[in-house]
Structure 1
């Protein structure tokens, strides 16, 4: 079984590392967040009845 030269291991490390970094950056910036809608949502609170 042939052995790989250290340069090849270094090249593989850089290729896989750059691929991982590129993949995470693309996934981070892929979806842009939508701004909240202009209509305000009213939050209604129902009164709590505590039965102790």
Structure 2
């Protein structure tokens, strides 16, 4: 039945949109753990040069 082909593309489009929304929301809410330690960072990192004269 060739008249059913547009419905297949519509379903594929909605599936793509749904999977894209799920992927973006998972990437937004699940982030890698970042450890921030102000005392050790200032001792281990060399001072950054300033490029202003």
Map 1:7-46 to 2 at 5 A: 7-31=7-31
CA distance in structure 2 between the partners assigned to 1:8 and 1:16 by the alignment: 12
The TM-score with structure 1 as length reference comes to: 0.51
* Structure 2: runs of 5 or more not aligned: 40-52
The alignment covers a number of residue pairs equal to 45
Question: Quick check: which has more Rg, 1 or 2?
Answer: 1
TM-score by length of 2: 0.50
Q: What are the superposed Cα offsets for residues 19-48 of structure 1, whole Å, 9 maximum, x if unpaired?
A: 0010000000002776x77x8xxxxxxxxx
RMSD: 2.9
Greater share of helix residues, 1 or 2? 2
